Each structure stands twice: as C-alpha cells, then as structure tokens.
Structure 1
Amino acid sequence: MKLLILYATSMGHSKAIAQTVSENLECYKFEDKRVMAINQYEKEKLIDEDIVIFICSTIGNGAEPKMMKEFWEYLLREELPGYILSTIHFAVFGCGDSRFKLFNAPSKRLYRRLLQLGANPINERGIGDARNENGHDQTLYPWIDDLKKNMEEKCLVGAAENIKKRSNFSVEFINNDLKINADPLVRNNKANEIYEVIKNDRVTPNDYLRDTRSIHLKSTNTLNYNPGDIIDIVPVNLQSEVAEAIVKLQWEENADKPFIIKADDTIELPISWENTQTLRNLLENSLDLFGMPSLKMVLSLYSSIENNLNDEEKKRLSDIESFVKSCIKDKKSIFDILCEFPTKDLKIEEIIDIIPTLKARSYSIASSRKVSGDNIIELIIGVNEFTNYNNERRVGIATKWISTLEPSQKIYAEVKEGVMKFNSFADKPVIMICTGTGIASIRCCLQERIAQGQKENYLFFGYRNTNCDDYFANELKKYVEEGNVKLFLAPSRDQPEKIYVQDKLKENAELIYELIDKKNAYIIVSGNANTIPSAVKTALKSIYIQEGGINENQASSNIQELQDKEIYQEECY
C-alpha cells in the first residue's frame, strides 16, 4: 500500500500536524510514503493512490488556505463521476478555531466531497480546535489512535511493529568554520521581503503598566495591501538569553561545533537550515526554546530520555496530557521543562525533534497606503508581559524581540491577506468597534475610507486610561473636527465605575439600531478574541430587543444573519 499525506496550510500548523501523523505511522511498512503540500501534488494522480490523509487548515471565517484552491476546484468539477475515487481510502483532519461560526468548514466540505466521489473513509473526520487547552493536539492524538486501529481492521496495513521512534533529521559534524549565507544586517532569517525599521517608539508612558510600540517598516518594493491585511513576522530569540540557556542546560560542549543537517525523505528541510549550522545558531534563530510546550513536544522529549528517567520523573510524565496542561497553567516554557529533566546528553538531532521551530506572528497593518505611501507599513504592537508559576516576570518571545529593534535595522516579513473584507463595505456606513491595539486594522480602514471621501464612520474605542493607551488620539481628534468620524470613547479606568465599549453601544442604542436597520451599516469588531466579540454581540442583542421590539431568540437570529451575510465582521486575536 502507498501512503500519501497532503496538507493545506497558511501559518504552518497543518504542515506540522502532517509530519506528526507521518511519524506516528512509522510503525507500519508502506510501499511508498510521502508528505506533501497540496499545491505541489499532481491532483490528476489522485485516483492512483491507495491511502490519502488530508490535513486542512481554516482561514478566517471558514475559508480554505490559498494553496488548496486549485485542488478544491478540481474536486468540484461537475464532470467527475461519483465513483472516480472508489479505489482509495482516505482520512481528514481539520484545524480551526471554535470562536468562528464556520469552524473547520474546509475539512467538512472536503470530507463530504470525497464521499460523493466514492472514496472510502478510514475513520471519522478529525476536528482540531486551537481553543483547546492543548490546542489541536488534544484531539489529534486520539484521532491518530483511531486511524491506526481502523487501518489495521480494514487490512490496509500489517501488524504494527514495535520500533523506537527515529529522528527525522541526521547531523554531520564538519571541520570548517561556520558560514551562513545571510545578510548580517537582517535581524531574523526568514526568506521573505526585507523591511527596514524606520521607527520603533514606545507610545505609552515609561511608568505605565503596558509597553506599546509604534513601529514603521519600509520596503524597497511597492506594496500592495488592503485594509484588514496583516504582516507576518518570524521572531528570533535574544542571543543573551540563549547563551544563558545553553549554560544552564549544559550544552556548551556542542554549542558551537559546525554541522550539516540532513532530512529524511518524508520531511522538507527548512531553507534556513540548508547552510552550515551550530546548535547556538539554531537556538537563536530557528527553535522555539522559550515557547509554550505541547503534547508533541513532551512526547518527543519522553521518547528521547525515557531510559534516563528515575521512577519519580517517569511518574510525573506518566500522564503526558495532564503534565502539559499543568505546565501551560503554570506558564512554563519549553526551556523550563528541559531544565527539570536529564537533557544534558541529548543529541543535536533529538533537540531538533523536541523543540518546535519558531512560527510567524501576525500583526494587523495600522496604516493605509493612501496615507502612508506605497512602501511604508505602520504597526501598533503591545509587548506581552506576564508572570509565571514562580512569580517571575516573562515577556512574549515575539514582542520582546520586536521591542529591541532599532531604526536602520532590517527584518524579514511577509504581507498576507487578512479576514476583513473591506471592499464589501467600502461605500456603506460602518460601525467600528475596537479595544486596545485592536485599533490597528480599524485605523487602516478609517484612513482608507476618509481618503475615499466616506464620512459615515462611527468609531467606538475602548482603552484603559486617557493619555496612556488611547492610541492615535490626536489623529482621531483631527478626524472628528473635520467631520470625518463620530467618536465614542470608553476609557475604562478613568473613573471609579468602569466603562466599556459595550456600555457605549447601549448608550447609543437608537443610533446603532437606525444605522443597522435603516442605513444597512456594516459592523467591524477588532480586539481581544476572548472578550470583545461576546461583549459586542450581547450589547447588540439588547439593542435589537430594546429598539426593535423583538424577543431574545429573534435578536440572536438577526445577529446571526448579519454574520452569515458578513455584514458583521470580526478581526480579533
């Protein structure tokens, strides 16, 4: 039997899951096993496959990744007979976020279409949810267990072999000096567009509890982005912190020995790893040493050090899912966990297997090209600070690194399409609702609309304190004076009784209802995904009940209809 694992991804989650599935099927012998991006596969050959496993991400509110578009259009052709895939067996695992109404929709559509074309399901569709405590891993591993059981029962594979997990990578130490073919002026190493840092200023007072940055990036090329689009930036770890970690983990002996990395046939070697490397360089630029642990990470760790664990350590790791949950609750990093177990003698290839790679962080673009120009991107980014289980101050990996960037330095980044559909409301009245740095995409949208002569802009902006985190205050005041926006501010901490954006919405219930019911206004919501969407929907529900004279069920139905028609849009994080 041949095995093909196809992934459709945007941020890399499905690619990582595809590799995890491949690793967990190492116990079976296949005539051929491939792991491929779906847009690299010759779709016409699908009928010649035996077992095909699809890993599919969800983009925005229910869209499939761009790389899947051509493959999906091929499957939807009307002339395809209903039996064309009757010789293949398949499985589908979807990645999504249950905050969105069309949760995991692409994987659902794919599963249904494969059935229509006669393909034989191996097991039920897997449903990964980023909102789970352990993310997609929480349902992935039970789904893999079910997949293996069903493959055996359907005689698609022979008996599982009891083999020790092998590394996907091999390392060959060399004698020559480390040479990395990269621009030494660039602060990260992801091969995308190069941007120069023009500005990186703290916009909150130095004694304020939050450090928020106004960052301007300049591209040498003409940019082409729309309001609501995002920029992906892959961070790197600070050299000083990596140096301390190497000492604490007792990895000094091999930290600076140059080597070449080779990958097996089932995995694609990252471009940045094709050059000569050292462990120090990997930890600084590629491996998420200070990131959050996952089930896969701890499983890989356990597999590598099992023989070196004492009884107490084995007991701690006996229920890996509970162990990971406790680590996340205590806000322990991967580095914290590595320090708790015997990891001194880990091989380089084992370290690469255990520690995941640094992933891109997405930031909403806060400027319109009509205002900032065709080669400037403005961002407003809050530095993520928190305390861990030991009451130690920690700072998020990406924002910590970003806060150190200085003017004239360069970084790699990539502009991508966001979830906001600006063109759908470009000529309509718009109610904009945001909190904190959620003002970014709203400001971009507002600048674009004002430049186009649109004046029916209603902005509800929530923040903590005036003169502290009321971002773009002078610019918004100018827009109000010019008659380009009606502004409703909600400074929650300026007075003893807290005021939030949902309170301002209710205070202006008559206006909101008239805009939606009579003027067909659109609603754009941006901010913390854990708080603002539910708060806004609750406020809108009460407005519908109060001003529309309808009951709660009808109000909920009306709000759902706004979402279905994308009149109500969320750009939350």
Structure 2
Amino acid sequence: MDKKFLVLYGSQTGTAEEVAERLWKKMKCLHFQGPVKAMDDYKVINLINEKLVIFVCSTTGQGEEPDNMKNFWKFLLRKNLPTHSLSNLSFAVLGLGDSSYAKFNFVAKRLYRRLTQLGGTPLLPVGLADDQHDLGPDAVIDPWENNLISSICINHKISSEVNSESAEHLLTRYRAVVVQDAELSESTPSAEKEGIEDPELRGWSKEHPVIAVVKENIRITSKDHFQDVRLLKFSTGSLEYSPGDVLTVCPSNLAENVKKFFEVTSFNPDQRICLYPNDPDVTSPSSKFRPVSQGGGGGVTVRECAEKVWDLSRQPGRQTLALMSTFSPNELEKEKLEELSSTEGQEEYLSYVCRLRRTMVEVLSDFPFTAAALTLDQIFDVLRPIRPRAFSIASSSKAHPGEIHLLVAVVNYKTKIVAPRLGLCSNWLARTVPGEKIPIWIRKGSLRFPSESTIPMVMVGPGTGVAPFRSFISEQVALEKASADSLVLFFGCRNSSGDFLCGDEWDNLSGSKKLTFFCAFSRDQPDKVYVQHLIKEQRNLLQNLMLERKGVFMVAGNAKSMPSQVKEAMLEALQIKDDQEKFINMLEVQGRLQTETWS
C-alpha cells in the first residue's frame, strides 16, 4: 500500500508549524514518506494526486485565513472545480483557535467543508483546539492526534506497536557542518551575502528585503504613563505603498538573551556552519546556510544564529520539551522534561511555561546539563526560527514621501518571574537608534479602503489600532480630498495627558473641517467611557453615513473584546434589531464592514 503523505500548515504564528512538524515526525515513525510545507509553498494543483494529507491551520482577525494560506485557499474556492476533484484524498484538519473570537476556528471549519465538497474523505472530525481551554490547545490536540494516528494505522493495516518510540524519532532535520572562513569565495553573489536583492526583480520578502534607515524613534506617551508607545519613522527612498498596507520586519534577539544563551550552552559563537538535510523530505535550508559550492552564502556563524535566526524569547511548546528530553544526558532533567511534555503533565506545563510566559532561553537555563550537551544538529530542532512581525503602516507615501511610520506599543509586563516579560520585536524596535539599518518588506493588509473619496468612512481605532486610519486620512489630506463630511474617526485611550496618540494631528484636522473626530478618554472621568459608548451616542450621524450614504465601517485594534462590542454598538446605533447576523454578513460581503485585529 502507498505510504506517501503530506502535512500542510497555514498560520501567522509558529504554533501551527510546530504542530505540523510534530505530526510529520509521528508519520515518519510510521515509515510514511512525505514533506511538511506551508500551504502557499505547495503547488495546490497537485492536491488532486494526493492520497493522504494532514492540514493544520489557524484563523486570523475576524475569520480570515493566514497569509501563507491565501493563494492555496483562493484556488480551492474556485467554482469550476469538479465535485469529485479530491475523490482519492483522505484528509484530516486541525484548527488552532481562540473561542474569545466571534469566528472561532472559522478557517479550519471552512477548509474541512470545502475538502468534503470536493470529494475528499475525512479520517476523523475536524479538530478545534482552543487557547481558552483550562489546559490550553493541547487539551484538544493530544486526543485528536492519537485518534488520527489510530485511524491511519487501521486504514493502512499497521500494527499499533509501530506508533511507539522509534529510532527515527531521534533523527534531527539537519546536519550542521563546521566550515572554515577560507572556504568562502569572493565570487559569492553580493545579494546572497547580504540577503538583499533588487525588489523590482524579485519582489519583497524575508529573503529579499528592502533596507530602511531609522530616522526617528520617539516615545509619544507621557513618561509617567504605564505604556510606552513609539512613533518610528524610517527613510525608505522612493518606496511606494498604499493605505492598509502592512510593514513586516524580522527582529533580532535582545542582547541580554544572546549573552545568556552562550552562558548556558557549550557552543563556540565564532564557528561558521553549513546545513545539510538529514531527510529528503526536509525543506532545504535558506541559501545563506548552503555552501558556496551549492550556490549558497558559505554558512552562518553560531553567533549570527543566536542573534538573528533562533527565537530565544518564544515560549517552548511541549514538543520542544519532549525533544530536549530525548537529547538530555541527565536522568533528573530528562525525567522532568518528560513529565512536562506528557499528556498527564499538561497542568504542570501550563504552570511552568504558559502562565509565567517562560522563554526558551530561561528553560535552557533551568536545565543546564541538557543545554550544555546539545549539539549543533540538535539545536536547530530545539529552537524555532524567529518569525517576522507585521505592523499596520501609519503613514502615507504621498503625505510622507520617502518615509514609513509605525505606531508600536512596547510589550513589557510582569509575571511571578522576577525578570519582566519583554516582547521581542517591540523592544528590539524601541532600542533602534537614528541611522540604524533594518531589513523590511511590505505586503497587503486585510483592510481595503475605497478609491472614491465621496464614500463615507467610519473608522474605529483605539490605541495603536489607529495606525491604518492615520495612513488613509493622511493620504486624503495630501490629495486634498479630506472632508469632515466623509471622514469620521473614533479613537480611544486612557488619558488625554497620557496616551492621546497623535492628538495634535486629530485636533488640527478636526479644526480645519477635514475630519470629524471623537475620542473616548476612558479614565478621565469617574465612569469609564469607551469608543462603543460614543458610537451609540452618534446614532444620527451613523445612520446617515451607513444607511443613507452607504458608507464603510472599519475597526482596527486589540482583538479580545473590543471588535465584538463595537459591532454591537454599531447595530444599536443603526437600530438593526432583526436579522442582525444577516445585516452584518451583507456589510462584510459588500466590503462595507472590515476589521483588522490582533491579540
């Protein structure tokens, strides 16, 4: 019987990729052959020839598919696909979601239905993992994985004993080979050495970024305000972008974490290494890790890996701890790691890692014998790569030529651990200085602003959620199309003196009749006032803009409860009492209700 398989994942975080690789390893232990790939890295037209595919996907925003799944999903939704297209396919879908969102695991549910519509045969019901579960997403993932493996074993008449620990489980994905600097060749293309290439030739991406120069890095909240928010300005030459676009950066690890990493491991930071896949199904390493003889950059130093490749700030998953246990030479540490990574140890794992937000470098410090014994081969499996972070652009290339602006809230909070928890990218950006160069690339965001300036725009952006609306409003002002009659902004913050982001700009635009502006200062009076309260108060204005003039309503900001409360306030202001869901769906289909939210 054919034992080919495929694992595909779609996610904007590393969780889905980690779960996908865990499933891939389990399938390899069953002696199946096949790769694990991001959905958009796979030629979806070949899906018709696949026999067994496992899908792992998350849901972004308010029910949208992740960026590395968009092309795959667009193809799958084609109306001309025959209903028997995937009649030879057996599949499983695992969704990673958060039930605090209105459209919980929406993408996984839709994918499961679509694959079934096209003739695919599900091996088991769709798995709906929930971050809000008391035991975290693993409460669903673990039994779902076990049921999937059991189903595959039955279908392929494989003994359940094969599903036990296997020698192949110890096989690392890559073999790291130390090379000498002398092996580097001057003939190596400069674009490969620097990771930079003409975007006109290749397009912007992590492998081919544009270099931006930090122009300004200003704290725009008061010094005594608990939240440090930065307005960052970058010089970008003639780079063009549109309102709603997103700037993506790949941060470096914080210096203190790099220092700590080398204190607890035994690696030589100056060694240069090249990577070779240990398995034909493993994705080839990026060009900088390949030797010159294979057209690569000739390797990367361990120091550069610790600074720019491995994510030392992420919280390790249970799979990571399980890997560390297999690599550990110390019985006590091995036993503890096995306990933390076991199904029975989920509660202890949550207490040790999740609730305290313990980082990877701190875990390595807590298991010193294991950390010191890790080899270069093993560390590439134990540590995940740093993932790019995306920020809504807060400027207009027409209003701010040659510049890109970001509004960045610096993540810094306390748990029971003494050291503060620091968000990697926000703190890295906050530490940049004028003149510093950083690689960036731009992609389309989820917001689609209307091209006609006469279409009314109702924009709701508390805190740094105001960024994409600053971009759009700035562009309308630059084009001399801004009017208080069509541009309405609801902004929310705590204090007029603490975190009134870009307050002078909004007041000036409002005073010159280019913007209708409402601000909810939630803590400036005894009773808290939020944007949803102001929306309800402006029912006459909302009814005119949305019902009579067919305007567009956009929401951006924190995803926890604000978006749903704002939608409820909109429905109340518009006096939509019956068929509310139908009305919301109508607005969304017409592009007149759009959200861009983040956790």
Query: What is the TM-score with the length of structure 2 in the denominator?
Result: 0.83
Q: Structure 1 residues 244 and 17, CA, compared in 2 at 3 Å: closer, same or farther?
A: closer
Counterpart in 1 of 2:350? 325
Instruction: Tell me the CA shift for residue 560 of structure 1.
Output: 5.7
Alignment of structure 1 residues 165-180 onto 2, 5 Å: 165=169, 166-176=171-181
Instruction: Tell me the CA shift for residue 191 of structure 1.
Output: 4.0
- Which amino acid counterpart does residue 363 of structure 2 have in structure 1? I
The answer to whether structure 1 residue 436 and structure 2 residue 472 are counterparts is no
Counterpart in 2 of 1:571? 596
CA contact (8 A) 2:61 2:559 kept: no
Q: Structure 1 residues 572 and 452, CA, compared in 2 at 3 Å: closer, same or farther?
A: farther
Quick one: which of 386, 390, 398 aligns to 1:358?
386
* Aligned equivalents of 2:134, 2:440: Cα separation in 1: 29
Name whichever of 534-543 and 394-403 sits farther off.
534-543
Unaligned runs of 5+ in 1: none
Name whichever of 44-53 and 208-217 sits farther off.
44-53
Instruction: Tell me the CA shift for residue 383 of structure 1.
Output: 0.9
- Which amino acid counterpart does residue 143 of structure 1 have in structure 2? W
Counterpart in 1 of 2:550? 520
Give identity over the alignment, percent.
28
The answer to whether structure 1 residue 143 and structure 2 residue 144 are counterparts is yes
* Aligned equivalents of 1:570, 1:80: Cα separation in 2: 30
The answer to whether structure 1 residue 447 and structure 2 residue 474 are counterparts is yes
Deviations along 1:405-452, whole A, 9 cap, x unmatched? 122221112211111121288542122222111111121122233436
The answer to whether structure 1 residue 336 and structure 2 residue 337 are counterparts is no
Instruction: Tell me the CA shift for residue 489 of structure 1.
Output: 1.6
CA contact (8 A) 1:462 1:492 kept: yes
Q: Structure 1 residues 453 and 325, CA, compared in 2 at 3 Å: closer, same or farther?
A: same
Quick one: which of 25, 29, 42 aligns to 2:31?
29
Counterpart in 1 of 2:248? 232
CA contact (8 A) 1:95 1:104 kept: yes
- Which amino acid counterpart does residue 325 of structure 1 have in structure 2? L
Q: Structure 1 residues 133 and 423, CA, compared in 2 at 3 Å: closer, same or farther?
A: farther
Paired residue secondary structure (2:300): coil
Instruction: Tell me the CA shift for residue 121 of structure 1.
Output: 2.2
Counterpart in 2 of 1:487? 517
Deviations along 1:149-174, whole A, 9 cap, x unmatched? 10011126555253142211222234
Quick one: which of 17, 20, 41 aligns to 1:18?
20
Alignment of structure 1 residues 69-218 onto 2, 5 Å: 82-95=83-96, 98=99, 101-128=102-129, 139-155=140-156, 157=158, 159=160, 160=162, 162-164=165-167, 165=169, 166-176=171-181, 182-183=193-194, 191-218=208-235
Deviations along 1:327-354, whole A, 9 cap, x unmatched? 2212221222222223221222222212
Deviations along 1:272-326, whole A, 9 cap, x unmatched? 4334234332121111112223233223223333863266665555534223321
Instruction: Tell me the CA shift for residue 365 of structure 1.
Output: 0.4
Instruction: Tell me the CA shift for residue 396 of structure 1.
Output: 1.2
- Which amino acid counterpart does residue 277 of structure 1 have in structure 2? V
Alignment of structure 1 residues 456-535 onto 2, 5 Å: 456-535=486-565
Instruction: Tell me the CA shift for residue 96 of structure 1.
Output: 5.1
Deviations along 1:43-98, whole A, 9 cap, x unmatched? 55444433223344545544545665665566566666544543332223345555
CA contact (8 A) 1:506 1:543 kept: yes
Q: Structure 1 residues 106 and 308, CA, compared in 2 at 3 Å: closer, same or farther?
A: same
- Which amino acid counterpart does residue 363 of structure 1 have in structure 2? F
Unaligned runs of 5+ in 2: 198-204, 291-297
Counterpart in 2 of 1:281? 304
Name whichever of 452-461 and 33-42 sits farther off.
33-42
Paired residue secondary structure (2:5): strand
Q: Structure 1 residues 115 and 412, CA, compared in 2 at 3 Å: closer, same or farther?
A: same
CA contact (8 A) 1:524 1:570 kept: yes
Deviations along 1:120-158, whole A, 9 cap, x unmatched? 322222335566678765544432222111001112655
CA contact (8 A) 2:393 2:404 kept: yes
Instruction: Tell me the CA shift for residue 235 of structure 1.
Output: 0.8
Deviations along 1:219-271, whole A, 9 cap, x unmatched? 34532x33222111111112343113321x1x245443333222232222244
* Aligned equivalents of 1:345, 1:242: Cα separation in 2: 18
CA contact (8 A) 2:61 2:597 kept: no
Counterpart in 2 of 1:267? 282
* Aligned equivalents of 2:322, 2:337: Cα separation in 1: 14
- Which amino acid counterpart does residue 293 of structure 1 have in structure 2? P
* Aligned equivalents of 1:22, 1:334: Cα separation in 2: 22
CA contact (8 A) 1:95 1:129 kept: yes
CA contact (8 A) 1:425 1:522 kept: no
Instruction: Tell me the CA shift for residue 529 of structure 1.
Output: 1.3
Q: Structure 1 residues 554 and 73, CA, compared in 2 at 3 Å: closer, same or farther?
A: closer
- Which amino acid counterpart does residue 24 of structure 2 have in structure 1? S
Paired residue secondary structure (2:217): strand
Name whichever of 508-517 and 330-339 sits farther off.
508-517
CA contact (8 A) 2:9 2:20 kept: no
Quick one: which of 426, 437, 440 aligns to 1:413?
440
Paired residue secondary structure (1:309): helix
* Aligned equivalents of 2:583, 2:549: Cα separation in 1: 15
CA contact (8 A) 2:135 2:347 kept: no
CA contact (8 A) 1:5 1:18 kept: no
Q: Structure 1 residues 336 and 8, CA, compared in 2 at 3 Å: closer, same or farther?
A: closer
Counterpart in 2 of 1:52? 53
CA contact (8 A) 1:190 1:234 kept: no
Name whichever of 522-531 and 298-307 sits farther off.
298-307
Instruction: Tell me the CA shift for residue 483 of structure 1.
Output: 0.6
* Aligned equivalents of 1:131, 1:362: Cα separation in 2: 24
CA contact (8 A) 2:51 2:90 kept: yes
CA contact (8 A) 1:298 1:320 kept: no
How many residues matched?
562
Counterpart in 1 of 2:270? 256
Q: Structure 1 residues 107 and 527, CA, compared in 2 at 3 Å: closer, same or farther?
A: closer
CA contact (8 A) 2:461 2:556 kept: yes
Counterpart in 1 of 2:295? none
Q: Structure 1 residues 190 and 528, CA, compared in 2 at 3 Å: closer, same or farther?
A: same
* Aligned equivalents of 1:409, 1:566: Cα separation in 2: 39
* Aligned equivalents of 1:507, 1:132: Cα separation in 2: 36
CA contact (8 A) 2:288 2:300 kept: no
* Aligned equivalents of 2:529, 2:64: Cα separation in 1: 36
Paired residue secondary structure (1:422): coil
C-alpha RMSD of matched pairs (Å) = 3.4
